[in-house]
Chain A
Amino acid sequence: MIERMVAVQNAHGIHARPAAEIVKVAARFSSQITLARDALEVNAKSIMGVMMLAAECGAQLRIRADGPDASDAIEAIAALIASRFGES
């Protein structure tokens, strides 16, 4: 299992559309992937879970992945969050 910390950088945080994008990317990997903020850890393949994080701009998230493609999965999700979901 591997993990990485990332910071949410887009102004509006992980609202509905970014949550849907994260789920779409996570679904491409067979590994188990979770996102955690403080004590709340959710399944990155569940949009309900990702939305429950209510991660605003500046929030620190821990991405954790376990499985054959874990490092690729973490790379892809970290890159998506760093891209600010195409927002400013």
Chain B
Amino acid sequence: MGTPLHGVSASPGIVVGTAQILRWEVPEVPVRVIPDEAVPAELARLHAAIAAAVDRLQQCKARAQQNAGPAEAAIFDVQVAVLGDEALTGGIEALIRQNLGAEKAVELVFLEWRERFTRSTNPLMRERAGDLVDIEIRLLSILLGLPDGDPIAAGPDAETILVTHDLTPSLTVQLDRASIRGIATDAGTRTSHVAILARSLGIPAVVGLIDATSRVQTGDRVILDATNGELVLRPTAATLARFAERAQEEAAVRSELASMTTAEAVTADGVRITLRANVDLPDGVERLAASGAEGVGLMRTEFLVVGRTAMPSEDEQVEAYRAVLEAFPGQPVVIRTYDVGGDKLPVGGFPHEPNPFLGWRAIRMCLDEPALFSVQLRALLRAAVHGDVRIMLPLVVGVDEVRQTRYLLREAAAELARRGVAHRADVPVGIMVETPAAALTTARFAEAVDFFSIGTNDLVQYTLAVDRGNAALVTRFTPLHPAVLRLIDGTVRDAAAVGRECSVCGEMASQPLMAYALLGLGVRTLSVSAAAIPVIKRLIRGVRLGAASAAAQAALVAPTAHEAERGLRQSLSEALGAGVTDGLLGLS
């Protein structure tokens, strides 16, 4: 197929193109001593190089203005000003007058200035050192007659895949969307500058390839499979054809995803699915409302207490809930009560525990601290005046926990009535099904709850006895384990039998393969992270529940999670096509 290099996907997509190596490193500079009579010519050479660099920077600025905007282009004004600064050029001239070649003079003076900036304790100053490197590379390249590695050199029709060690901000703003199809870098992570920029511009990018710049040559035909984090060198004709087809399908998926905010979440065989959003913080919730979510399936409230110095007041909580409710007028907003251990609370005196995930946390801690819990319950009843609040209790293992909460809710309503504060007493109450105990006894909860919501992350953790935060156990954390699927299947059936809504609000619902399994198991309401909404909506619109159900039944009896996953993936590929499936899986 060709030689694949493995890196990290920074911005998804598949492109075929011609590699262009961009070297942007400070070149090696020879020491050269010049005779006295050569000094004037050497000074002239320096000034000619500075003039050429300024010229080039003006072109770069124009290019950046067009591609990125005036704020980004301003960086080149700074570089021009530096080249015009006599504090700098004067130092270079002085060294040339002492018979040093211009290149070495430039290097020494830049080194001195860079050190001054790097030594500073002020982060603003240390960033400036990076700007100086850019200017130095440009000036030295001109003096040494090195090829111009600017991305500006690529023609408009060149299907360029830029291969470089790393991209500095000043290089990236010049990138020409019309000629650059993809970016591959030796350095970088998913959160580095180049990755963030590539995602915002929608350019496929693979970072962290380690030695791509020494394995690839300018002019090589390459495939950048940024969905899977690979750069394929010198691909065979068959590989090229296969990737070209996948690239076309993925491109179609991406442009389609953009249109998903207004599309209805209906399966190909006409069943309406409810798609809600998970909310961690009230900030930015308006954007979430615009993403096409039909309400909030899980609003976490931990932000109200974790990392603070005092517990939030009733009024403060009402405002936080109200902000979310007003962003989703007339739509359900499921708010989960505190899901933390005592050690996360701003009020002290709680011991650290050897086994916190099996410890005094969530509903257990809340019921043992009724004064603290009642503030939250009163705030929720008051907020319910502004929208469709539903209260969800975490880590429930028994019906008595719901009964006690309902008792506290009646007390909370009575106190609000006594105070004459507007509130609603009839707010629906449900539980998170995230322990095997709750999953196995779903039907017994019917008398006490109005709805169920499966929290998959904790359900997987408690079912498989695998700590989800332990990096050494990552491969053992398998949501498609037959035991997990059986518990979900049982919960969904029992909830339907007693006539209660059962949604899924865990991470699992945000992953296309898992979402497909959940639809197959009969789940009709999913709550997913905001970023996953278009992906999951596209999946819903492309699948038939009959096929999903058959695939889910096969997964239920599969011996291992791996085999369950393979079957689901195959069924999904048959429904959507391999390219669309890969595209959706890559985007999630």
Residues of A contacting B128 in the complex (Cβ-Cβ under 8 angstroms): 15-16, 51
Q: In whole angstroms, what is the CA distance A23 to B87 when docked?
A: 12
Chain B residues, Cβ within 8 Å of A48 = 82, 85, 87-88, 113
A71 at the interface (CB under 8 A from B): no
Looking at the complex, which one of A13, A19, A46 makes contact with B78 (CB distance below 8 Å)?
Answer: A19
Contact with B along A2-25 (1 / 0, CB 8 A): 000000000011011101100110
Expressed in whole angstroms, the Cα–Cα distance for A65 and B488 within the complex equals 77
Residue A76 at the chain B interface, CB threshold 8 Å: no
B78 adjacent to A16 (CB under 8 Å)? yes
Q: Which of B119-127, B242-250, B388-396 contacts A (4 or more CB under 8 A)?
A: B119-127
Residues of chain B lying within 8 A (CB to CB) of residue A54: 120, 122, 124-125
Q: Which of A37-66 contact B (CB under 8 A)?
A: 43, 45-49, 51-52, 54, 56
A47 to B117: give the CA distance in the assembly, Å: 13
Q: Which residues of A contact B82 (CB under 8 A)?
A: 47-48
Residue B562, interface by CB 8 Å: no
What distance in Å separates the Cβ of B65 from its nearest Cβ neighbour in chain A?
Answer: 14
User: Which chain B residue has the least Cβ–Cβ distance from A24?
Assistant: B81
> Contacting B74 at CB < 8 Å: which of A20, A47, A56?
A20
A43 to B, closest residue via Cβ: B87
- B78 and A56 contact, CB distance less than 8 A: no
How far apart are the CA atoms of A57 and B218 in the complex, in Å? 46
B86 within 8 A of A: yes
Q: Which of B81, B125, B131 contacts A23 (CB 8 A)?
A: B81
Contact indicator B122/A20 (Cβ below 8 Å): no
Q: Of the candidates A12, A43, A47, A56, which one forms a contact with B122 in the assembled complex, judged by CB atoms under 8 Å apart?
A: A56
Q: In whole angstroms, how far apart are the Cα atoms of A41 and B78 in the complex? A: 21
Residues of chain B within 8 A of A12, CB atoms compared: 124
Chain A residues, Cβ within 8 Å of B113: 48
- Nearest residue (CB) in A for B125 is A54
By the criterion CB–CB under 8 Å, are B125 and A51 in contact? yes
A53 to chain B, nearest CB (A): 9
Q: In the complex, which of the residues B81, B86, B125 contacts A20, with contact meaning CB atoms closer than 8 Å?
A: B81
In chain B, what residue has the closest Cβ to A87? Answer: B71
User: In the bound complex, what is the Cα–Cα distance between A16 and B128 (angstroms)?
Assistant: 7
With contacts A19-B78, A20-B77 taken as known, whether A47 is within 8 angstroms of B120 at the C-beta atoms is no
> Are the CB atoms of B124 and A17 closer together than 8 Å?
no
- Mostly, the A contact residues are helix
- Which B residues touch A45, using CB under 8 A? 86
* Chain A contacts for B124, CB-based, 8 A: 12-13, 15, 54, 56
Contacts of B77 in A (CB 8 A): 17, 20
Main secondary structure of the interface of B (DSSP, over half): helix
Q: A41 → chain B, closest Cβ, in Å?
A: 13
> Which residues of A are found within 8 Å of B320, using beta-carbon distances?
none
**Which residues of B sit under 8 angstroms from A23, Cβ to Cβ?**
81, 85
When the two chains form their complex, are residues A17 and B87 in contact, meaning their CB atoms are under 8 A apart?
no
Among B75, B84, B85, B122, point to the contact of A16 (Cβ < 8 A): B75
Question: Which residues of the other chain, B, contact A24 by a CB distance below 8 angstroms?
Answer: 81
A-chain residues with CB within 8 Å of residue B177 when the two chains form the complex: none
- Bound Cα distance from A52 to B125, whole angstroms: 7
Contacts of B566 in A (CB 8 A): none
Query: Please, what's the 1-or-0 string for B214-233, where 1 marks a CB less than 8 Å from any CB in chain A?
Result: 00000000000000000000
**Inter-subunit contact B75/A17 (CB<8 Å):** yes
- B45 sits at the interface (CB 8 A): no
Nearest opposing residue in chain A for B83, CB measure: A47
B74–A52 contact, CB under 8 A?
no
* Complex contacts, B78 vs chain A, CB 8 Å: 16-17, 19-20, 47
Q: Does B403 contact A (CB under 8 A)?
A: no
> Are B74 and A17 in touch, CB under 8 angstroms?
yes
Q: Is B116 an interface residue (CB 8 A)?
A: yes
Closest-CB distance, B193 to chain A (whole angstroms): 16
Taking the closest CB of chain A, its distance from the CB of B461, in whole angstroms, is: 43
Say whether A46 contacts B87, CB under 8 Å: yes
User: How far apart are the CA atoms of A68 and B459 in the complex, in Å?
Assistant: 79
Chain B 358-394: CB-based contact to A (< 8 A → 1; otherwise 0): 0000000000000000000000000000000000000
Q: Output the nearest chain A residue to B131 by Cβ-Cβ distance.
A: A16
Determine the distance from Cα of A54 to Cα of B74 in the docked complex, in whole angstroms: 18
- Taking CB atoms and an 8 Å cut-off, the chain B residues in 104-133 that contact chain A are 113, 116-117, 120, 122, 124-125, 127-128, 131
Chain A residue nearest to B121 in the complex (CB): A54
Asked if B86 contacts A46 (CB within 8 A), the reply is yes
Partner of A49, one of B74, B87, B117, B122: B87
Instruction: Determine if A47 and B81 form an interchain contact, defined as CB atoms under 8 angstroms apart.
Output: yes
B71-99 residues with Cβ-Cβ distance < 8 A to A are: 74-75, 77-78, 80-82, 84-88
Minimum CB–CB distance for B70 against chain A, Å: 10
A48 to chain B, nearest CB (A): 5
Cβ of A51: which chain B residues have Cβ within 8 Å of it? 117, 125, 128
B79 CB, min distance to chain A CBs, angstroms? 9
Chain B nearest CB, measured from A88 CB (Å): 13
Which of B75, B85, B125, B127 contacts A47, CB < 8 Å? Answer: B85
A residues near B (Cβ < 8 Å) are 12-13, 15-17, 19-20, 23-24, 43, 45-49, 51-52, 54, 56
Give 19 pairs: A residue, B residue, CB < 8 Å, sorted on A.
A15-B127, A15-B128, A16-B128, A20-B77, A20-B78, A20-B81, A23-B81, A23-B85, A24-B81, A45-B86, A46-B88, A47-B78, A47-B81, A47-B85, A49-B85, A51-B125, A51-B128, A52-B117, A54-B120
Q: Which residues of B contact A (CB under 8 A)?
A: 74-75, 77-78, 80-82, 84-88, 113, 116-117, 120, 122, 124-125, 127-128, 131
10 closest cross-chain pairs (CB), A and B? A54-B122, A16-B78, A46-B87, A47-B81, A20-B81, A17-B74, A20-B78, A54-B125, A48-B87, A20-B77
